């Protein structure tokens, strides 16, 4: 049981401490770091920054095996282990569905996971939240937050929890893929350059043909499809005057019907 079961008043000192944890979490993203350490910080940050009593994380490792990796207290570790062994509970559900789970009342918890509800209550918790560690379609784990009071988590806190979970996810995936920042920066540059060039090409076609930019885009895309040249390459050719606007607006052969788009 936590000794400080009374109110956690957000004192200035507490906010300052929380702020420095947030900094520490971010620091791990720009240097070499240890995933376990990152996740330890994440659970500490959650307890400090959000109005929760305890936090824990279940993580699927690179081989797909689930494990309890970080906890703010022994109580939350037990809760994670319980879910892991019974292969059920809010954290497991968040992991499977990729969606957050929010249980504000023990009654609701009992209805869905009776055995887990007993364990939760036995350890002095009332409310449970599970937030997926997810990047796009990939869910690599879930963050569990426990509260000793029955209180709705504010929208603000939910968003901050999700943001912290997102950063941790990015950090883990970054380390797993061993991506170099310079490669990522090149990809970012390429994505932006392409987008800008396409917009410029739309302007060129729009002006030449006296059509709006939306129609300009459709003409560029039609050319790209019928000639099987990448949209970005067609756009770059238009902007560098390697391809005349007249050619883009001229009727093109229809693309073969096989290969749906």
Partner 1 sequence: MVSEDGDAVAQQSENLRRIAEFCRVGVARSEVDGMALSVLVSDVLEPVYSTDSLAERVADLQYTLGQGPGTDAASTGVAVLVPDIGTAEARQRWPLFAIEAQRLGVKALHSFPLRTADVRIGEASLYRRAEGVLAERQLRQATTVTSLLTSVLLHSEADPYTGSELRMSVHQAAGMVMQQTGRSIADAIALLKAAAFAEDIDITSLAREVLSGGRRFEALGERTGESDD
Q: Taking CB under 8 A as the rule, does residue 195 contact partner 1?
A: yes
- Cα dihedral: 75, 81, 85, 86 (round 10): 40
**By CB neighbour count within 10 A (0-12 exposed, 13-18 middle, 19+ buried), where does 192 fall?**
exposed
Angle at 88 between CA 87 and CA 92, to 5 degrees: 90
Q: Taking CB under 8 A as the rule, does residue 202 contact partner 1?
A: yes
CB of 35 vs partner 1, minimal distance in Å: 15
Beta carbon nearer to partner 1, 22 or 226: 22
Binding track over 128-167 against partner 1, x by CB under 8 A: -------xx----------------------xx-xx--xx
Beta carbon nearer to partner 1, 19 or 36: 19
In the list 119, 172, 198, 237, the residue contacting partner 1 (rule: CB under 8 A) is 198
Strands 138-147 and 127-135: antiparallel
**CA–CA separation, 113 and 116 (whole Å):** 5
Q: Taking CB under 8 A as the rule, does residue 46 contact partner 1?
A: no
**CA–CA separation, 256 and 127 (whole Å):** 58
Beta carbon nearer to partner 1, 70 or 167: 167
Please, which residues bridge with residue 33 across strands? none
Beta carbon nearer to partner 1, 131 or 205: 205
- In this structure, the number of other CB atoms found within 10 A of the CB of residue 215 comes to 15
**By CB neighbour count within 10 A (0-12 exposed, 13-18 middle, 19+ buried), where does 194 fall?**
middle
Q: Taking CB under 8 A as the rule, does residue 11 contact partner 1?
A: no
- Tokens at 20, concatenated: 């420095």
Beta carbon nearer to partner 1, 107 or 230: 230
CB of 231 vs partner 1, minimal distance in Å: 6
Residues in contact with partner 1 by the rule CB under 8 A: 16, 19-20, 22-23, 26-27, 29-31, 135-136, 159-160, 162-163, 166-167, 170-171, 173-174, 181-182, 184-185, 187-189, 191-196, 198-208, 213, 230-232, 239-240, 245
């Amino acid at each position: 049981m936590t000794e400080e079961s009374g109110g956690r008043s957000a004192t200035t000192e507490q906010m300052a401490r929380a702020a420095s944890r947030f900094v520490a979490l971010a620091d791990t993203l720009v240097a070499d770091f240890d995933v376990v350490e990152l996740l330890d910080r994440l659970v500490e940050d959650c307890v400090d920054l959000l109005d929760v009593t305890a936090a824990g994380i279940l993580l699927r490792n690179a081989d797909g095996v689930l494990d309890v990796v970080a906890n703010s207290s022994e109580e939350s570790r037990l809760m994670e282990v319980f879910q892991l062994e019974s292969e059920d509970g809010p954290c497991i559900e968040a992991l499977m569905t990729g969606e957050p789970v929010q249980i504000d009342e023990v009654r609701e918890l009992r209805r869905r996971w009776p055995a887990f509800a007993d364990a939760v209550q036995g350890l002095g918790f009332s409310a449970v939240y599970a937030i997926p560690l997810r990047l796009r379609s990939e869910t690599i784990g879930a963050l569990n937050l426990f509260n000793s009071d029955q209180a709705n988590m504010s929208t603000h806190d939910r968003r901050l929890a999700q943001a912290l979970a997102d950063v941790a996810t990015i950090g883990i995936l970054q380390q797993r893929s061993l991506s170099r920042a310079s490669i990522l920066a090149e990809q970012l540059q390429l994505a932006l350059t392409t987008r800008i060039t396409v917009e410029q090409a739309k302007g060129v076609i729009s002006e030449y043909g006296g059509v709006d930019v939306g129609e300009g885009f459709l003409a560029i895309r039609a050319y790209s499809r019928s000639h099987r040249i990448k949209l970005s390459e067609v756009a770059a050719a238009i902007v560098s005057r390697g391809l005349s606007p007249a050619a883009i607006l001229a009727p093109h052969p229809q693309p073969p019907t096989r290969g749906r788009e």
